[in-house]
Amino acid sequence: MNMTAATREAEPAAEQTRSKPDVESALDGDIQAFDRLVLVHLPRTYRIAMAILGSEADAGDAVQDAWLAAWRQLPTLRDPARFDGWLDQILVNACRMSIRRRGRVREIPMPDGFDAEAPQAALNHVAERDALDRAFGRLTVEQRTILVLHHLERRPLSAIAAALEIPIGTAKSRLHTARAALERVLETER
């Protein structure tokens, strides 16, 4: 195992170790412990939702829905050590619901100074970013989810498989399929 892979596996494990006492306290009804969990995990959950949904408003709504669902469903969590995977599953479901609610309408934010003349390099960067955003938006929720968890969140396949409740081999296959789909869509977007 190389150093990067070891670091990827250590990051989620360290976060889980720090959160476990708060998860256990929250399971016993401690609201302050749950608040601490929200503070620790909120940036990560928002980052995942933003990457999946591509809209700040939708990401904020999905994260809020996910945390509300997590509080309500907390008594169903059997193993406090699996809190991160359990929360990720709730978040992905909230993102799916957000996509169903909004249909296929997608908000396209315009960068500041969009009308101003820009150097060619900046225009190329904007065009590449726009092509990537459009391509990412054309992927399925499952494809976006696995790409976000692996590449943005730097989760190892074993953690992704656990969070999505699928075998590791299935996670590998879905990651490969998602990468191939992104490449195909990017080719048509350029």
Please list the pLDDT of the chain residue by residue as tens digits (190 residues): 343 444 344 444 445 556 789 999 988 888 999 999 999 999 999 999 998 888 888 899 999 999 999 999 999 998 898 899 899 999 999 998 888 877 655 555 545 544 444 445 444 567 777 777 888 888 888 898 899 888 888 888 998 888 888 899 999 999 999 999 988 988 886 6
Sequence-distant (≥ 6) Cβ neighbours of residue 115 within 8 angstroms: none
Do 14 and 96 have their domain in common? yes
Do 102 and 13 have their domain in common? yes
Interatomic CA distance for residues 128 and 137, integer angstroms: 14
Single pTM value for the model: 0.62
DSSP 114: T
Tell me which residue range forms the domain holding 148: 119-190
Residue 50: inside a domain: yes
Position 137 scores a pLDDT of: 84
Number of Cβ atoms within 10 Å of the Cβ of 38: 16
Position 163 scores a pLDDT of: 83
Contact status, residue 77 vs residue 86, Cβ threshold 8 Å:
yes
CATH number, domain containing residue 127: 1.10.10.10
- Report the Cα 109 to chain-centroid distance in Å: 20
Do 135 and 178 have their domain in common? yes
Residue 114: inside a domain: no
**How many structural domains are present in the chain?**
2
